[in-house]
Structure 1
Amino acid sequence: MRAVYATDLSSAIDTAIESRICLECLGRYGIDEIDLITVTSPNVTTGMPGSDVGERTRKGLNRQREHLEAEGFTVNTHVVRGTPHRRINGLAEQVNADLLIAGSRGQSPLKQRFVGGTIKNLARTAVRPLLVQRIVDGENGLEVANRHLFQRMLYATDFSENAERAFEQFHRTKKATQEATLLHVQPPERRSSGEVVEDAEQRLEALADQLREMGIETETIVRDGAAVDEILATEREVDPTSVLIGGRGRSRLRRLLLGSTSEDVIARAESNVLLVPPARVR
């Protein structure tokens, strides 16, 4: 299986790539080939006299490539110009990637600039499942928030087709997942409009039984309230290593719907987020 790994060649991405446990988790997911991609601005001219941008880019990519290769991955490197999320998605389609990976630093409003840019746009337009890997400031410098990427999963579902597609990721992570929490949130607006899922507990238990058959210890939770707030509250309670959630589409009109749940979870969660887009209509 193949992953496209977006890198800005920063120390934050170095931290993620140098985490052996993170890389082992990707291996358990099934990834054995990685395409490292860095996107430069169209306004940057690497061939200008005295410019060392191109050389620094090559050295940075080679450093990360060598580390991944030392861990047993087949690695391809790509330096392209353009809009980051478009070029990353374009490469993912070109190589038929199984997973997109991007690193994100911090959760505070002052630290959401990167989340609000490349990550936000990737979340809205991803053509493959997107793993947003959280990188934080630790006592001894930068560190990954959760090295065991898929060990404890929090799966949020509204029982939609997109959520069902996200649930299929457990078949990919089953070698790495030990515990799972399945969550359904009943928003107040749905309760008032009569759209409440009356058999939510039974439906969650049916999903839980599937995971238990895989050897994954599973619990179910049904909560009332605003979806994002309850997902984040549950995250604080169960301390997952990743939140698994389905996206709602990529068209210009449907992108506006993403911010209500998926985008906010990506921006505010303390753990990693695995976002699964809906199936593409060709």
Structure 2
Amino acid sequence: MKAICATDLSAASEAMIESETCLECLGRIGVEEIHLVTVVPSNVHAGMPGIDFEERRERALARYRRVIEEAGFEVESHVVRGTPHRRINGVAEAVGANLTIVSSRGKSPLENRVIGSTARNLARTTVVPLLVNRIERGTDDPDVVREHLFQRVLYATDFSENAERAFEAFSYLRHATREATLVHVETPKDPSLSDGTDPDVRLAELAARLEEWGIETQTEIRSGDPAGEILAAEVEYDPTTILLGSRGHSRLRRLLLGSVSEDIVARANGNVMLIPPDRTA
């Protein structure tokens, strides 16, 4: 597998890259090649007075490269200019990446604004599975909030096609996953399941598949606002990563996914992994 690691050379990016447990988890799920991507804003130029962006960038990328190579990965670096989320998606397509990773400090709109807005834009537009690695806020020397990325997974589903596609990510995540909680949120506007199956039965079927892989699994059906209930489940079960699709049954009703996935990326305490729809379907 190939992974894009987007970095803005901030302390948050450095925390993500230098987390030994995060790199170990990526290796467990089959990542062998990591592409470091740095996007230079179009309004930043090397000749601007008092700015040593190029020198700082080269030093940081060289250090990141050493860390990743020492962890056993192949590494390539890409420095591109333009709008961050568009260029990150472009590189992901160009190299045939299987995963994009971006760090985010999350809830504060004032702290780390560039990478934070990039994470939200990627949540809306990503072309490959996206992992938002949550970093501590309020400190100059931050660390990752949840180590062992996929050890405990909270999987949220509305049983849509894209949600089912997200579940298939367990085919490789299982090598790093010990526990999983499967959650379905019912809402007043929730459409009936197309085959008339009870949600409890559907969740039980999914749980059985995970238990065959040795993953300890529990299920829950909640009622209310989808984003709010998923976040409440995160507080209750303390997963290392929330896994969900980036689109659901209806983009207008916001039943579970779509704009709700952006809310989860912005408000979750820990890591979030989004799976986009299959563009070839």
Do they fold alike, i.e. is TM over 0.5?
Answer: yes
Q: 2:99, 2:129 within 8 Å by CA — same for their partners in 1?
A: yes
| Superposed displacement of residue 57, structure 1 | 1.1
Q: Distance in 1 between matches of 2:270 and 2:48?
A: 41
- Pick aligned residue for 1:195 from 192, 198, 201: 192
Q: 1:47, 1:54 within 8 Å by CA — same for their partners in 2?
A: no
**Amino acid paired to 1:206:** E
| Superposed displacement of residue 236, structure 1 | 0.5
What do the CA deviations read for 1:166-191 (whole angstroms, capped 9, x no partner)?
0011011111000000000001233x
Give the equivalent residue in structure 1 for 2:238: 239
Distance 1:235 1:125, change over 3 A: same
Q: 2:152, 2:180 within 8 Å by CA — same for their partners in 1?
A: yes
Q: Distance in 2 between matches of 1:41 and 1:113?
A: 13
Q: Distance in 1 between matches of 2:252 and 2:2?
A: 26
| Superposed displacement of residue 141, structure 1 | 3.6
Q: 1:246, 1:262 within 8 Å by CA — same for their partners in 2?
A: yes
Matches within 5 A, 1:200-211: 200-211=199-210
Q: Distance in 1 between matches of 2:127 and 2:106?
A: 25
| Superposed displacement of residue 108, structure 1 | 4.0
**Amino acid paired to 2:222:** R
**Amino acid paired to 1:226:** D
Matches within 5 A, 1:263-278: 263-278=262-277
Q: Distance in 2 between matches of 1:138 and 1:21?
A: 22
Give the equivalent residue in structure 1 for 2:131: 131
Q: Distance in 1 between matches of 2:109 and 2:15?
A: 22
* TM score, norm. by length of structure 1: 0.91
**Amino acid paired to 2:244:** I
1:96 aligns with 2:96: yes
| Superposed displacement of residue 120, structure 1 | 1.1
Q: 1:28, 1:176 within 8 Å by CA — same for their partners in 2?
A: yes
Q: 2:129, 2:273 within 8 Å by CA — same for their partners in 1?
A: yes
Q: Distance in 1 between matches of 2:244 and 2:7?
A: 23
Distance 1:43 1:114, change over 3 A: closer
Q: 1:12, 1:135 within 8 Å by CA — same for their partners in 2?
A: yes
Give the equivalent residue in structure 2 for 1:175: 175
Q: Give the alignment's Cα RMSD to 1 decimal.
A: 2.4
**Amino acid paired to 2:221:** V
Q: 2:104, 2:116 within 8 Å by CA — same for their partners in 1?
A: no
Secondary structure of the 1:5 match is: strand
Q: 1:131, 1:275 within 8 Å by CA — same for their partners in 2?
A: yes
What do the CA deviations read for 1:232-254 (whole angstroms, capped 9, x no partner)?
111110000000000129xxx96
Q: Share of identical aligned residues, percent?
A: 56
**Ranges in structure 1 where 5+ consecutive residues have no aligned partner:** none
Q: Distance in 2 between matches of 1:277 and 1:165?
A: 8
* TM score, norm. by length of structure 2: 0.91
| Superposed displacement of residue 136, structure 1 | 0.6
**Amino acid paired to 1:167:** F
Give the equivalent residue in structure 1 for 2:164: 164
Matches within 5 A, 1:1-40: 1-40=1-40
* Structure with higher helix content: 1
1:280 aligns with 2:279: yes
What do the CA deviations read for 1:161-215 (whole angstroms, capped 9, x no partner)?
000000011011111000000000001233xxx6377600000000000000000
**Ranges in structure 2 where 5+ consecutive residues have no aligned partner:** none
| Superposed displacement of residue 66, structure 1 | 1.1
Give the equivalent residue in structure 2 for 1:155: 155
Secondary structure of the 1:189 match is: coil
**Amino acid paired to 1:176:** A
**Amino acid paired to 1:173:** L
What do the CA deviations read for 1:94-143 (whole angstroms, capped 9, x no partner)?
00001000000132454484475211111111000000000014889411
